[in-house]
């Protein structure tokens, strides 16, 4: 799992993802993941179906994958793909 540095946030919502990645308290982590998932959803809604924003959509997908990994590996959520 990649740990982005404080200056690697190209998009505003990435700061919320970073906060989740570095959180050590499990209760706070759950809240930060919820906040981050909401930020991803809201940003995807704002982007809509426009042709622009491909780079940001890819970054949003990567962030979503990072949050999923946190949920599985740190919070021990089950892997529903199996």
Domain ranges of the chain: 14-73
pTM for the model stands at: 0.82
Nearest to 20 by CA among 44, 45, 37, 8: 37
- Stretch 56-71: mean pLDDT: 97
**29 has a pLDDT exceeding 80:** yes
H-helix or E-strand spanning residue 59: helix 54-73
pLDDT of residue 50: 84
What is the C-alpha to C-alpha distance for residues 59 and 77, in angstroms, rounded to an integer? 23
pLDDT of residue 18: 97
Q: pLDDT band at residue 40, thresholds of 50, 70 and 90?
A: very high
């Amino acid at each position: 799992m990649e740990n982005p540095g404080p200056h690697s946030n190209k998009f505003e919502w990435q700061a919320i993802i970073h906060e989740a990645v570095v959180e050590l308290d499990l209760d706070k982590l759950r809240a930060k993941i919820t906040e981050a998932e909401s930020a991803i959803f809201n940003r995807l809604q704002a982007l809509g179906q426009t042709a622009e924003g491909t780079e940001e959509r890819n970054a949003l997908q990567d962030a979503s994958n990072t949050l999923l990994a946190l949920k599985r590996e740190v919070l021990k959520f089950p892997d529903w793909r199996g």
